[in-house]
Amino acid sequence: MTDIDELLSIIENPTRRRILEYLTREPSYPLQLSKELGISQQAVMKNLALMEQTGMLMSHPEESSMGPTRTVYAPTGSSRS
């Protein structure tokens, strides 16, 4: 499988496309994505991990005033991360 085939395989999935579309507007963490998109947190986590492994997304820890540190995801190369 070539890189372009892998990329197309990833973005042809409707759930991953919705997650990516949301993240292009605003970097976010899994629980927020789950609530905003109406997708289970488990499905969000699985898809985020796949997209991060392929280099489409990057993540970083972010302190939260509401509890433990969150992992925030954004598209690779995004200036909003």
pLDDT at 81 over 50: no
Higher pLDDT, 34 or 81: 34
| Per-residue pLDDT reduced to its tens digit, 18-58 | 999 999 999 999 999 999 999 999 999 999 999 999 899 99
* pLDDT score recorded for residue 20: 95
Q: How many DSSP H helices and E strands does the chain contain?
A: 4, 2
Q: What is the mean pLDDT of residues 57-80?
A: 89
Run of H or E including 3: helix 3-11
Supply the CATH classification number for the domain 3-75. 1.10.10.10
Give the domain ranges of the chain: 3-75
Higher pLDDT, 6 or 34: 34
Cα–Cα distance list, 25 to 41, 65, 73, 76, 78 (Å): 20, 23, 12, 13, 10
pTM of the model: 0.85
